[in-house]
Amino acid sequence: MKLARVACTGAIHAAQPQQLPDGRAGVRLTDGRTLAEEEVVWLPPLEVGTVIALGLNYAKRAQELAFNTPLEPLVFLKGPGTLLGHRGVTRRPRGVEFMHYECELAVIIGRGARGVRRTDAMQHVAGYCIANDYAIRDYLENWYRPNLRVKSRDGATALGPWLVDATDIPDPGNLRLRTYVNGKLTQEGNTRDMISGIPVLIEYLSSFMTLDTGDIILTGTPEGAVNVDIGDEVVCEIEGLGRLQNTIVGDALFGR
């Protein structure tokens, strides 16, 4: 099952995918209305708890950045204000030289986890969605300590469009990831290349912190992230999860 959260006519609705009579992609709201994608405001597909993000979780990505493979997962937290939904806009601040996307598999915790062994870890997963976690290299002080201006910027992480039930993704450890900038393929990878897979991450994280329902683990991005500029349309695709669209805008839209 695929579920989304959208805003329409002053209310928030659950929604499911629905093809329109003219062939366009649309949504069906819980009240029965069918609307085109652009007729609603897309929100993150769930009420999000803690956002836990992984850095350098693909070996070739670490090589791309000239870093050794981490000996244990490189983890940091993100504030709730970083999140926005499908078809949202992300700001590129004036004067920035290098801002890039990061297409990631997002793992949604469905049942509290504390001290979970990796053999039992997948029982705590509710589902999956796509994340696009932007970073601005100009602000990066240390690749091993991502600072707040890089990873907790307002609206810097698109999430969605759908929350896909875990039962519909039989092998999350073998999903193809792709990113397109203005229709051109710029990044391609597979979750089988993650250094720490989902069971290992849940075991590691739950060994020192409680994972609660609604928490999200962003599992890192493969190599191939390139600079994006104002006006660029970025689409992240993950096999079985859909396509997450996002546009880069400048300061003027935010009155800055």
Domains of the chain: 1-43 (2.30.30.370), 46-254 (3.90.850.10)
What would the pLDDT profile of 236-251 be if each residue is shown by its tens digit? 999 999 999 999 999 8
Task: Say if residue 68 is exposed, middle or buried (CB neighbours under 10 Å; 0-12, 13-18, 19+).
Answer: exposed
Residue range 202-218: mean pLDDT, rounded: 97
Helix or strand or coil: residue 191?
Answer: helix
Report residue 60: phi and psi, to 5°.
-70, -30
pLDDT of 229 > 60? The answer is yes
Residue 143 predicted with pLDDT over 60:
no
Q: Is residue 116 classed exposed, middle or buried when 0-12, 13-18 and 19+ CB atoms within 10 A define those classes? A: buried
The pLDDT of residue 80: 87
H or E element: which one contains 205? helix 198-206
Which pLDDT score is estimated for 66?
47
Q: Of the candidates 69, 74, 103, 106, which has an alpha carbon nearest to the alpha carbon of residue 222?
A: 103
Tokens at 3, concatenated: 């579920």
Report the pLDDT value the prediction gives residue 107, as an integer from 0 to 100: 98
DSSP string, 85-98: -TTEEEE--TT-S-
Q: pTM, whole model, 2 decimals?
A: 0.93
With pLDDT > 90 as the criterion, what percentage of the chain qualifies?
A: 77
- pLDDT band of 232, cuts 50, 70, 90: very high
pLDDT of residue 151: 83
- Convert the pLDDT of each residue in 3-53 to its tens digit: 999 999 889 999 999 999 898 889 999 889 999 999 999 999 999 999 999
Answer yes or no: is pLDDT of 149 > 90: no
Mean pLDDT of 142-149: 66
Q: What's the pLDDT tens digit per position in 68-126?
A: 566 788 898 998 899 999 999 999 999 999 999 999 999 999 999 999 999 999 999 99
Question: Average per-residue pLDDT in the chain?
Answer: 91
